[in-house]
């Protein structure tokens, strides 16, 4: 027998990165998103290297390993969808299809500490490891949008397996 129990509502953060959908971007989109699950790839990002140097200078006790692990574990997944829209440009209305990458962050434990506070790390993860990377590495778009929903609430119906009494 299967049962579900309700967790939450609990604090969450949601972000969306919005960029024009172009065939030539697919490889970079896949690379950037897959790098979120790879500590070595995260360490290779220029923003991360600069942040580590800055944090070490500000705090000699800065724990680089814990910080990198938190960045890597904070993004446990994402969703991608397309959206058609129209915007007003100086030359007139422009129709455009965009790619939207959505991230939802939440803490799994009741009392997060510095190693598991994914809400605290979420802004850095999405703004710098995703949106900023797209802006710099694609380098051709006028704008790449980064949208933050800072105070959503998340409820999860978590499946539990209930064992039947033997008899």
Kindly indicate the confidence band of residue 1, based on its pLDDT and cuts at 50, 70 and 90. Answer: low
Half-sphere exposure of 40 (CA within 13 A, CB side): 0
Kindly indicate the confidence band of residue 162, based on its pLDDT and cuts at 50, 70 and 90. Answer: low
Kindly indicate the confidence band of residue 62, based on its pLDDT and cuts at 50, 70 and 90. Answer: confident
Question: pLDDT (tens digit, 9 = 90+) per residue, 98-133?
Answer: 999 998 888 776 555 555 677 777 877 888 888 888
Is the peptide bond prior to 9 cis by the omega test (within 30 degrees of 0)?
Answer: yes
Q: Does pLDDT of 163 surpass 70?
A: no
Contact in structure between 89 and 13 (CB atoms under 8 Å): no
Neighbours of 107 (CB within 10 A): 19
Domains recognised in the chain with CATH numbers: 2-161 (3.30.70.120)
pLDDT (0 to 100) of residue 138? 85
Question: pLDDT (tens digit, 9 = 90+) per residue, 16-52?
Answer: 999 899 998 999 999 999 988 888 988 888 888 888 8
Residue 12: both structure tokens together: 């969450």
Strand-pair category, 153-161 with 145-149: unpaired
Question: pLDDT (tens digit, 9 = 90+) per residue, 64-100?
Answer: 888 888 888 787 789 999 999 898 888 999 999 999 9
pLDDT (0 to 100) of residue 97? 94
Does the global pTM surpass 0.75? yes
pLDDT (0 to 100) of residue 115? 55
Written as one string, the DSSP assignment of the chain is -EEEEEEEEEEEEEEEEEEE--GGGHHHHHHHHHHTT-HHHHHHSHHHHHHHHHHHHH-TT--HHHHHHHHHHH----EEEEEEEEEEETTEEEEEEEEEEEEEEE-SSSS--TTT-HHHHHHHHHIIIIIIHHHHHH---S--EEEEE-S-EEEEEEEEE-PPPP-
pLDDT (0 to 100) of residue 99? 93
pLDDT (0 to 100) of residue 79? 93
């Amino acid at each position: 027998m299967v049962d579900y129990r309700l967790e939450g509502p609990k604090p969450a953060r949601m972000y969306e990165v919005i960029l024009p959908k172009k065939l030539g971007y697919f490889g970079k989109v896949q690379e950037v998103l897959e790098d979120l699950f790879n500590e070595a790839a995260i360490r290779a990002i220029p923003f991360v290297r600069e942040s580590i140097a800055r944090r070490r200078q500000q705090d000699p006790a800065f724990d680089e390993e814990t910080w990198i692990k938190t960045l890597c574990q904070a993004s446990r997944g994402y969703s991608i969808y397309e959206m058609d829209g129209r915007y007003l440009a100086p030359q007139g209305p422009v129709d455009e299809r965009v790619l939207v990458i959505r991230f939802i962050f939440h803490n799994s434990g009741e009392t997060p500490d510095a190693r598991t506070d994914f809400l605290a790390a979420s802004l850095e993860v999405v703004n710098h490891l995703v949106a900023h990377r797209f802006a710099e590495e694609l380098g051709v778009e006028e704008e790449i949008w980064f949208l933050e929903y800072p105070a959503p609430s998340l409820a999860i119906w978590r499946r539990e397996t209930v064992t039947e009494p033997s008899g």
